[in-house]
Amino acid sequence: MSSSTQQAADTAAEGRNRPARVSFWAAFLGIGLILGIVATPLFWLMWGGWYTLCLFLCAFVAIPAGHLGRRRGKRLGGRDRGAALFGIVAGWLLMLCGLLLVVAYAGLVTGLAVLVDSAR
């Protein structure tokens, strides 16, 4: 086999488990959003709904793509199965963090409403 044919075959083999890589990067982006929330809490208070929406979107991409990547990795001899597993686990953790953010935001709004009502 010539080197250009081998290189083309290697390139094609790298792209076979695309769901695993999508899952990995969606989870990585969601973790970056969590770190952004921790680093900039005032910004989260102003735009918390958008942060939370993005977290849920990242989780909704990471979980199914991770499952597809695990299944496809099994057929490909284990290729990128670890990245897919990371996407699944991180996706569920992102879902949990998103739910905690919704509860925290609702508690903050409720607490502020109680404070305003008691000031009257």
Mean pLDDT of 85-101: 91
Percentage of residues in the chain with pLDDT exceeding 90? 23
DSSP for 23-86 reads: HHHHHHHHHHHHHHHHH-HHHHHHHHHHHHHHHHHHHHHHHHHHHHHHHHHHHTTSTTHHHHHH
What are the tokens at 12?
């094609």
> How far is the C-alpha of 106 from the C-alpha of 99, rounded, in Å?
11
Check whether 3 has a pLDDT greater than 70. no
Mean pLDDT of 9-28: 75
If you average pLDDT over every residue of the chain, what do you get?
82
Check whether 91 has a pLDDT greater than 80. yes
Helix (H, G, I), strand (E, B) or coil at 15: coil
